[in-house]
Structure 1
């Protein structure tokens, strides 16, 4: 791994979480935590940019730094992790989301749907959720789930690979929404049109007076591609999707090998 000289050190470090900063056992190593905190002490801005919903960031509040925020739901929400409230959001119009969902179901009848709102999770009764459901989960058919604006519409198939599911959904959804996946099992995530990790990250950086060429970004999956393209230097994890590895400026060690920490230690001479 050879790190470009032009980014020593960057003003902004943006990173995905699962498959990138986080180990496969869902932990963040002491080495990675120490590197993240040291980067912030050195004066750089650090921001987590993730597909996770807001509630899955609360345990990481000690990493968000002085600004206290993270970019969640694939860029749909700029979230104050400390205050536990959305600062800025770009949600899917309910009628657009329902039209897309019904079109997808007509094309692929066996799919099931779930939604993430800024303050609540909901799912269809038969949706296979691979994580514990919150106590206030809304269990309803898709028409009720999409009666209010959502940050994400989740589409799960019982057996298809996420790449195959995305390939079938993309022409059906068209330009009305943004469809991608974050490596989940048989899962595609749909956001409002124009929403991406990159779009919200660019706004976040602009608020701080930071340009793209002063930023670096880490990622491993398809939903990270726009963010990696935006950043001055992009780092793809060795465990990442083939498309990520093909476009990243640098391939760094895998998430389970503390790849993010490895890069930060060299860039910031930690």
Structure 2
């Protein structure tokens, strides 16, 4: 284990926005042991404060499902892969054709643009005060859209994805990460958390086999498949659970902390990776 890559929401942080003391201690111990830590999240940069405030993280965060690489300490953009205005408007047209009830937003490097109806359909209170604007008018040629968002007020996330992904085809990557809303997160073609994580790990001279990753939702699938040890959170989305045989206990049971504590004991004892066996032990609730 040379690099720990963890999702945030539903993995180390519950809906209450709290990262537990046990999880904070586990990440601190991992870094003290000389292991690199990177958080890989669907969140935009403006929603990263909890990582600094609760974990004291001052390193790299891979944001917006891989579209943005962010330096927490310097508050600096290290890399971006985005959709341009014309691509976004084309995608919007395609989605409207297959689902006229959809509402849209564009997460840009410079902030969020919402169209009328998006905040109401999405239901996130953090969006209520956001100014609405027509994307065809608000987006400029210089705007970099790191996530194009589409929400359905009538479908489930799975139903919406099944409708939109085939229509979009290879024009973009379509995923979702919130069980509460039918919100699709649309990125540049082929862009996933895994692709950006692989580039980041390579820059550190770290191979996939030395990466331990954690996630719980469809936007984590490729990352869990790519990492040498990818742990799906117990109770996570079926697609995440199908991506790997390894399990961490649920977020509310400090699952990531339990796995990391076991990995640190391995490092201290000079043992090799125990893979699925170690995962099975923590899943049964040992070392509480």
Q: Compute the TM-score of the two structures, normalised by the length of structure 2.
A: 0.86
The match for 2:125 is 131
Asked if 1:90 is matched to 2:84, the reply is no
Q: Which moved more, 1:52-61 or 1:12-21?
A: 52-61
TM-score, length basis structure 1: 0.91
Moved over 3 A (4+): 62-66
Q: Where does the alignment leave 5 or more consecutive residues of structure 2 unmatched? A: 269-288
Matched, 1:174 2:169: yes
Corresponding residue for residue 135 of structure 2: 142
Q: Deviations over 1:121-163 (max 9, x none)?
A: 110021124131397x452113134432200001001121111
Q: Write the distance in 2 (CA, Å) between the matches of 1:195 and 1:138.
A: 28
Matched, 1:245 2:236: no
Deviations 1:104-125 (A, max 9, x none): 0111000000111122111002
Distance 2:38 2:211 in 1: 11
Counterpart in the other structure of 1:7: none
Question: What are the within-5 Å matches in structure 2 for residues 161-240 of structure 1?
Answer: 161-184=156-179, 185-240=181-236
For residues 192 and 209 of structure 2, what CA distance do their matches in structure 1 show? 19
SS at match of 2:42: coil
Say how many residue pairs are matched: 259
Task: Tell me the distance in 2 between the aligned counterparts of 1:249 and 1:153.
Answer: 31
1:260 aligned onto 2:256: yes
Q: Is the 8 A contact 1:178 1:190 kept in 2?
A: yes
Q: Which residue of 2 aligns with 1:32?
A: 23
Whole-angstrom CA distance in 2 between matches of 1:145 and 1:152: 15
CA distance in 2, matches of 1:134, 1:53: 17
* Higher RCO, 1 vs 2 (CA within 8 Å, ≥6 residues apart): 1
Mapped to 2, the partners of 1:134 and 1:217 lie a distance apart of 34
Secondary structure of the residue aligned to 2:231 is: strand
Bigger Rg, structure 1 or 2: 2
Equivalent-residue separation in structure 2 for 1:172 and 1:88 (angstroms): 29
8 A Cα contact 2:57 2:72, kept in partner:
no
**In the superposition, relative to structure 1, how do residues 86 and 94 fare at CA in structure 2: closer, same or farther (>3 Å)?**
same
Give the deviation of 1:24 after TM superposition.
3.0
